[in-house]
Amino acid sequence: MSIERVRTSPQGKEQLSRLKRNTGIEHWNVLCRWAFCTSLAEKTVPPAIDFKGDDAVEMTWKVFGGECQEIYLALIKERCKQDNLSIDDKSVAEQFRLHLHRGLGYLASDASIKAPYDAGRRSPRGLLEKVGA
């Protein structure tokens, strides 16, 4: 398994808190899934971030992915291949975290997201349909 724990920075926690407050979505893992998929929809590689300091939100990969954890892992590995990056465990975990944080930034900065269905409009529905989710 490439990813065992999902961690956010303190800024990621603030963004999750804002999204939770604005949308009423109660669970961090659901918001993280939306953020991850939102970032995957972008054609560019997420910018490198130096994750210094303490992690603010932490969950297991199983909690993050739920019944679809294998699909999410396949998605990040496929994205690494598309971006000509290694699919070793370290690279996959790093790219996942970068995509998660980029997606959180996109969603948290979108003032139009005020309800759960708004986050869904921002997320790439077609991406999940392609993998059968």
Structural domains present in the chain: 5-130 (1.10.1220.160)
- How crowded is residue 122: how many other Cβ atoms within 10 Å of its Cβ? 17
> How many CA atoms within 13 Å lie on the side-chain side of 28?
19
The whole-model pTM stands at: 0.84
* Closest-CA residue to 116 (of 38, 15, 21): 21
| 24 pLDDT tier (thresholds 50, 70, 90) | confident
- What is the DSSP secondary-structure string of 48-81? P----S--SEEEEHHHHHGGGHHHHHHHHHHHHH
- The model's pLDDT over 58-99, given as tens digits with 9 standing for 90+, comes to 999 999 999 999 999 999 999 999 999 999 999 999 999 999
